[in-house]
Amino acid sequence: MSPELESDTVADPNYDDEFDAIVVGAGLAGSAAALTMANRGLEVLMIERGSSPGAKNVFGGVLYTPTIRELTDFENAPVERYVAERRFSMLTENDETAFSLRPGEWHEEPHNDSYTVLRGEFDEWFAEQAVEEGATLLTSTTVTGLLREDGRIAGVETDRPDGTIRAPYVVLAEGGNSLVSEGANLKATETRENVAVGVKEVLEFPERDGVIEDRFRLTDDAGVSYHYFGEGAVGDAFGGGFIYTNDDTVSVGVAYRIEDAATHDQSPEETLNAFKSHPAVAPLVRNARTVEYSAKTIPEGGADSIPDLVHDGAAIVGDAAGLVLNNGVHLEGTNMAVESGYHAGNAIARAAENGRVGAEALQVYPEALEESFVVQNLEHYKWMMDAVEEDRDLLFEDLPRAFADAGTEYFRIDRTPKESHAKNAKRAVLDAVGGWTGAAKLALRYRKVVT
């Protein structure tokens, strides 16, 4: 007697309109949207081009987690270290002048919701949270375009054979290089003044254990976030450098305007190598082995560059929507990605409950985002990129130089009285900023950075 095959196999599977929503990209914005919609009972398909979520994702290294904490069992999340020190450093070619904060509060839960993470692990975990709530994840599949019916968006096209699938809602969470949204005329291609390039290496220290703890003065799960500005960080480009500590690796990188990368004769890789060789940086990364090299584009157009966030049958979230804040002191994007995915997911769930697909039914998403910290912060710092651009020589070259000179003068040890050292120090700074009047103007112009 021969055994039989069970006969319920589907010969010609078709999933058109089987899902309520398709999410393009399983990064932080996409998974937040998928998780939110799955939580509210929607059937969600996430389509990710990488072999696993996070495989293609790049960011500097610090994730701000208030919203993720709300959405998940965060204590199981694969974080590297909490941020226990933030350090801001001005570099000239040879000098460093730094300002460092180590508040005791950051050592305590919830650690100011600031953690270093590696996206390969974190994004996979976050997408898994959506799958556990019932979402379906499809990897190694690239969305190449949108399906339109009667003018509205009704599904996606992918790079696979038989590759079109219909669904009432599409969430575009495709990241900064948003070819699908641009191809479908949902947003304009960003000008190169508004795009930064980021390159980053993950370094390990094979010689012995404890190198990171020793060099960065850390115990247990504490970590650091170091930001660097000035010509020692990225030459005369518009941007900066960073170092973040992971569990047993360090992320080191630079980010600056793609315009500068295109017009200068130094490649991003060379800029990163120069940064790593700076006398204030090199000792932190010496005897390291590079285990990962990555690069990405960062939308930095701010509030003015946010496209229309909702369309008939679609919403744009995360980097694809240009939701990145970089004002020098704050570098944020992933938290805004999660926040936008959450609000878009909620808006779609509500529209689906009412059986509506038009853009007006999704309008609660941009409205919620307007009221959230995301747009509030982007609006608040809108003026800043222009101001910094205007003062770039002063801020990135003259001031770091002046502060280094002032410090050198102020603490000079010789046989002249300290009063003359102090006078020299003061003059170094005042010369750079244009006297007391210049200093007052500068203080007025940038007061909103911290207020």
Partner 1 sequence: MSWTIAVGVKQVPDADEVGIDPDTGRLDRASAPAVMNGPDREALEAAFRIRDQAGGEVIAMSMGPPNATSVLEEAVAMGCDDAVLVSDRAFGGSDTWPTSLTLARTAEALDADVVVCGEETTDSSTGQVPPGIAAHNDWAQLTYAEAVDARPDENRLVARRDVEGGHEVVAADLPVVVAAAYGEFEPRPAPLHRKIYGENDFEPTVWDAEDLEIKDEVGLEVSPTSVGGMETVDPVERKSEVVDDVDDLAESIEEVVA
- Does 206 bind partner 1 (CB under 8 A)? Our answer is no
H/E run at residue 21: strand 21-24
CB of 296 to partner 1, least distance (A): 24
SS3 332: strand
Nearer to partner 1 by Cβ, of 13 and 283: the residue is 13
- Does 138 bind partner 1 (CB under 8 A)? Our answer is yes
- Does 94 bind partner 1 (CB under 8 A)? Our answer is no
Within 10 angstroms of residue 117's Cβ, the number of other Cβ atoms is 27
Positive or negative: CA dihedral 103, 104, 105, 108? positive
- Does 5 bind partner 1 (CB under 8 A)? Our answer is yes
Query: What part of residues 29-58 is at the interface with partner 1 (CB under 8 A)?
Result: 45
CB of 115 to partner 1, least distance (A): 26
CB contact at 8 A, 169 and 176: no
- Does 158 bind partner 1 (CB under 8 A)? Our answer is yes
- Does 13 bind partner 1 (CB under 8 A)? Our answer is yes
- Does 163 bind partner 1 (CB under 8 A)? Our answer is yes
User: Among 142, 167, 178, 155, which residue's Cα sits nearest to residue 337?
Assistant: 178
Q: Pull the structure tokens for residue 196.
A: 């930064």
User: Among 369, 377, 372, which residue's Cα sits nearest to residue 317?
Assistant: 369
CB of 138 to partner 1, least distance (A): 6
- Does 162 bind partner 1 (CB under 8 A)? Our answer is yes
Residues 12-46: b if buried by 16+ CB within 10 A, e if exposed = eeeeeeebbbbbbbbbbbbbbbbbbbbbbebbbbb
Nearer to partner 1 by Cβ, of 51 and 185: the residue is 51
Q: How far apart are CA 310 and CA 366, in angstroms?
A: 7
Nearer to partner 1 by Cβ, of 140 and 420: the residue is 140
- Does 11 bind partner 1 (CB under 8 A)? Our answer is yes
Among 120, 136, 312, 372, contact with partner 1 (rule: CB under 8 A): 136
What is the size of the binding site for partner 1 (CB under 8 A)?
Answer: 23
User: Among 160, 156, 144, which residue's Cα sits nearest to residue 314?
Assistant: 156
Q: How far apart are CA 362 and CA 342, in angstroms?
A: 13
- Does 262 bind partner 1 (CB under 8 A)? Our answer is no
Segment interacting with partner 1, rule: CB under 8 A, options 161-169, 172-180, 218-226, 317-325:
161-169
CB of 26 to partner 1, least distance (A): 14
- Bridge-partner residues for 23, per DSSP? 46, 171
SS3 420: helix
CB of 30 to partner 1, least distance (A): 17
Among 9, 185, 219, 451, contact with partner 1 (rule: CB under 8 A): 9
Segment interacting with partner 1, rule: CB under 8 A, options 156-164, 200-208, 232-240, 253-261:
156-164
Residues within the interface to partner 1 (CB under 8 A):
2-6, 9-11, 13-15, 45, 136, 138, 141, 158-165
